[in-house]
């Protein structure tokens, strides 16, 4: 047990977070923070370094940074926002965290409850009436695993531990806690807590052995087995398991809208990628499909498996029960962590399949792998001299500056065929929720959690605008977080344009060439925004100049400790993925 000597509930709250290993406290403050701010002032006077208070000028950025910090460290962090209005600004980022199973602890002040002055912290300014809500948590309850309001000082330890416990329990996700101003301001001499807390949640989820055997029988007997994954790399250990399975049975692997580095790009079993509106290759030819941690393994209106194909679904929650509708077949469910299940499945397949069959299939996969890479390289080369710069050429240029110490955060535009991830834990793709504006904030959070890494955020111009760029660049300068942002600037909402022309191929927009609400031109000089925050900014229109521009930007990041932005004036030419 440990006794905390404090003056207020707010100070006790911060001491408890410190004891529980919370490193940073990302906040966009308001009048409800008064006692929290005073508590941090005491921490500073006493030389206590954690949790470190970081002022972030917008709530969406703060939650995205917490998201990125978790991706870099595996440890959930705390964000605090200003009552209902701050919560409203944070919701888009919380939806992203929910769909990506990221345990963010979002806290918010609550407008004071009392107005007669009988309690310290009562209403004393105009907004304290207009900001009260009947159900403040109601606006985000669908996307958090748990919400609660701290009611009395005696429950402080129980509430904080419950928030961390639920957030970290599988499937992981965000939680929401409201903190009334009167409760935070209450005097408190001391608080006795359990330290360390007896609230451990780590427990491996191993598969049903019978289901492993059933899946192994199907994969070993298959003529054209295929693994489809989106997020196996959520746990880097699962990548090794997936490689072991691919090697054991010479099984093809395709990635559907990859959100992590799931499988080595150079491995002969890697057979291609599906993007936002495209199914991965091989779906319609496979006789057995193993879906590993993929919410949308194919898009049924575009591609469907054979009627006789058997489908195995492997994930902690193989049915994605938080999605209102998901109608994919499942002949064999394996409810387990991929990192735990895949090595077992690999060994079970190895015992069942003749080595000569594996060798023959491996040769076919290797030949197909080489053909794909040759075609991809030719497609990028075809854009070498095109203007506006092609997305494939721009992606290749980014790929050429990546190394083992670089982490990429990609919000749609980067074509991983030409910029393969440096390795497990070094690539993070856009959340399937599509809440734009995530990547730059997440990149800042990764840099905060792993300052030794070079971090590159690749975004479209629309996603960059959604990121609240002035808040991102200000946070980068304020907290010493130099990252490189590469803006693929095609002056429009590409997804909106493609959706309109795809749904109405002979409609008015297609016949007139005018797509209202999809254009963002004339384009701003995005490179000037980062310069306003002492960063390095360049605009590139000539494809031949892009490699040197990227190298100059990385030099500013790595050697000068300055954030940088490269504004790439570009266009999707035929052959680019429709992300």
- Cβ neighbours of 202 (radius 10 Å): 7
Indicate whether 200 belongs to any domain: no
Question: Is residue 123 assigned to a domain?
Answer: yes
374 in any annotated domain: no
**Whether 327 and 412 share a structural domain:** no
Neighbours of 281 (CB within 10 A): 18
How buried is residue 431: exposed, middle or buried, by Cβ count under 10 Å (0-12/13-18/19+)? Answer: buried
- Distance (Å, whole) CA 407 – CA 405: 7
**Same domain, yes or no: 399 and 528:** yes
Q: Which of 11-20, 75-84, 123-132 has the lowest mean pLDDT?
A: 123-132
Average pLDDT score over residue span 363-379 = 97
Q: Is the peptide bond before 196 cis (omega within 30 degrees of 0)?
A: yes
**Tokens 């879906």 sit at which residue?**
291
Both 338 and 287 in one domain: the answer is yes
pLDDT of the residue at 578: 61
The pLDDT of 372-379, averaged and rounded, is 97
One domain, residues 104 and 81: yes
Say how many CA atoms lie within 13 Å of 95 toward its Cβ.
16
- Boundary (domain end) residue, out of 127, 159, 193: 193
- DSSP-derived letter for residue 157 is H
Three-class SS of residue 471? helix
384: pLDDT strictly greater than 90: yes
Residue 72 inside a domain? The answer is: yes
User: Of 72-81, 116-125, 465-474, 550-559, which range is least confident?
Assistant: 116-125
| pLDDT bracket for residue 278 (50, 70, 90) | confident
Residue 63 and residue 104 in contact, taking contact as beta carbons nearer than 8 Å: yes
The larger pLDDT score, comparing residue 118 to residue 350, is at 350
Q: In what order do the strands lie in the sheet with 288-292?
A: 270-274, 252-256, 225-229, 288-292, 310-315, 332-335
pLDDT band at 568 (very low <50, low <70, confident <90, very high): very high
Give domain status of residue 543, yes or no: yes
**Can you give the pLDDT at residue 276?**
80
Q: 419 and 279: one domain?
A: no
Does residue 157 sit in the same domain as residue 55? yes
Query: How much of the chain exceeds pLDDT 90, in percent?
Result: 89
Question: How many separate domains does the chain show?
Answer: 3
> Are residues 64 and 112 in contact, defined by beta-carbon separation less than 8 angstroms?
no
Residue 216 CA to residue 222 CA, distance in Å, equals: 10
Say whether both 489 and 515 belong to one domain: yes
pLDDT tens digits for range 172-192: 999 999 999 999 999 998 889
Q: Is the pLDDT higher at 115 or at 447? A: 447
- Average of pLDDT values for 334-352? 98
Same domain (yes/no): 331, 409? no
The CATH number of the domain holding residue 249 is 3.40.50.1220
Residue pointed to by tokens 């429009």: 492
Ramachandran sector of residue 108 (left: φ over 0; alpha: ψ -120 to 50; beta: rest) = beta
Mean pLDDT of all residues in 228-248: 98
- Residue 520 within a domain: yes
What is the average per-residue pLDDT within 268-297? 96
For residues 511-515, average pLDDT = 92
User: Measured between alpha carbons, how far is residue 472 from residues 78, 117, 123, 468, 563 in Å?
Assistant: 18, 39, 32, 6, 10
* pLDDT tens digits, 84-120: 999 999 999 999 999 999 999 999 999 898 888 888 8
294 lies in the same domain as 408: no
Last-in-domain residue among 369, 401, 430: 369
Q: From 161, 193, 225, give the residue that closes a domain.
A: 193
Residues written for the chain: 579
Our separate counts of H helices and E strands in the chain read 19, 21
Mean pLDDT to the nearest integer, 561-576: 92
Is residue 7 located within the same domain as residue 111?
yes
In a domain, 199, yes or no: no
Q: Quick one: pLDDT at residue 387?
A: 96
- Domain extent, residue 547, equals 383-571
Q: State residue 515's pLDDT score.
A: 92
Average pLDDT over the chain, rounded to whole? Answer: 96
- The pLDDT, as a whole number, for residue 579 is 53
Nearest to 5 by CA among 196, 188, 197, 194: 188
Give the C-alpha separation, 409 to 438, whole Å: 9
Tell me the CATH number at 466: 3.40.50.970
Q: Is the pLDDT of residue 121 over 90?
A: no
Residues 183, 298 share a domain: no
Same domain, 30 and 68: yes
235: in domain: yes
């Amino acid at each position: 047990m440990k006794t905390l000597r404090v003056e207020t509930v707010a100070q006790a709250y911060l001491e408890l977070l410190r004891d529980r290993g919370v490193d940073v406290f990302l906040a966009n403050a308001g009048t409800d923070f008064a006692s929290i701010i005073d508590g941090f002032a005491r921490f500073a006077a006493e030389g206590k370094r954690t949790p470190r208070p970081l002022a972030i000028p917008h709530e969406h950025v703060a939650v995205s940074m917490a998201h990125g910090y978790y991706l870099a460290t595996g440890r959930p962090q705390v964000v605090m926002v200003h009552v209902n209005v701050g919560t409203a600004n944070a919701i888009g980022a919380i939806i992203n965290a929910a769909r990506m199973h990221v345990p963010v602890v979002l806290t918010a002040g609550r407008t004071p409850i009392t107005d007669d002055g009988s309690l310290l912290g009562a209403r004393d300014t105009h907004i304290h009436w207009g900001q009260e809500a009947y159900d403040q948590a109601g606006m985000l309850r669908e996307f958090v695993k748990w919400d609660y309001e701290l009611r009395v000082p005696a429950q402080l330890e129980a509430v904080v531990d419950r928030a961390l416990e639920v957030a970290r329990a599988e499937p992981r996700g965000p939680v929401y806690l409201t903190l009334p101003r009167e409760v935070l301001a209450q005097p408190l001499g001391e608080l006795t807590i359990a330290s360390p807390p007896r609230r451990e949640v780590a427990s491996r989820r191993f598969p049903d052995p019978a289901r492993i055997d059933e899946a192994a029988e199907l994969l070993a007997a298959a003529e054209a087995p295929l693994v489809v994954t989106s997020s196996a790399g959520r746990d880097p250990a699962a990548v090794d398991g997936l490689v072991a399975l691919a090697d054991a049975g010479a099984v093809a692997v395709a990635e559907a809208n990859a959100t992590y580095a799931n499988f080595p790009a150079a491995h002969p079993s890697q057979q291609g990628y599906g993007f936002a509106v495209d199914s991965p290759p091989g779906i319609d030819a496979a006789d057995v499909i193993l879906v590993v941690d993929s919410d949308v393994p194919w898009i049924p209106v575009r591609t469907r498996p054979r009627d006789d194909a058997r489908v195995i679904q492997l994930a902690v929650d193989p049915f994605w029960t938080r999605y209102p509708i998901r109608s994919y077949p499942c002949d064999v469910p394996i409810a387990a962590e991929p990192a735990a299940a895949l090595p077992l499945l690999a060994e079970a397949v190895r015992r069942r399949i003749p080595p000569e069959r594996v060798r023959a299939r491996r040769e076919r996969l290797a030949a197909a792998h080489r053909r794909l890479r040759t075609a991809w390289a030719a497609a990028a080369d075809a854009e070498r001299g095109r203007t506006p710069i092609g997305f494939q050429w721009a992606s290749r240029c980014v790929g050429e500056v990546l190394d083992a110490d670089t982490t990429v955060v990609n919000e749609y535009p980067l074509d991983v065929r030409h910029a393969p991830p440096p390795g497990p834990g070094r690539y993070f793709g856009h959340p399937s929720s599509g809440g734009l504006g995530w990547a730059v904030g997440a990149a800042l959070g990764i840099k905060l959690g792993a300052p030794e890494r070079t971090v590159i955020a690749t975004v479209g111009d629309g996603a960059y605008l959604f990121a609240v760029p002035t808040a991102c660049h200000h946070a980068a300068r304020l907290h010493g977080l130099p990252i490189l942002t590469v803006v693929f600037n095609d002056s429009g909402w590409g997804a909106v344009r493609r959706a309109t022309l795809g749904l109405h191929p002979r409609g008015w927009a297609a016949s007139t060439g005018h797509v209202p609400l999809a254009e963002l031109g004339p384009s701003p000089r995005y490179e000037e925004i980062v310069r306003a925050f002492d960063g390095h900014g360049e605009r590139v229109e000539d494809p031949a100049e892009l490699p040197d521009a990227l190298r100059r930007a990385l030099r500013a990041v790595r050697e000068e400790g300055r954030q940088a932005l490269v504004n790439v004036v570009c266009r999707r030419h035929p052959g680019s993925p429709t992300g």
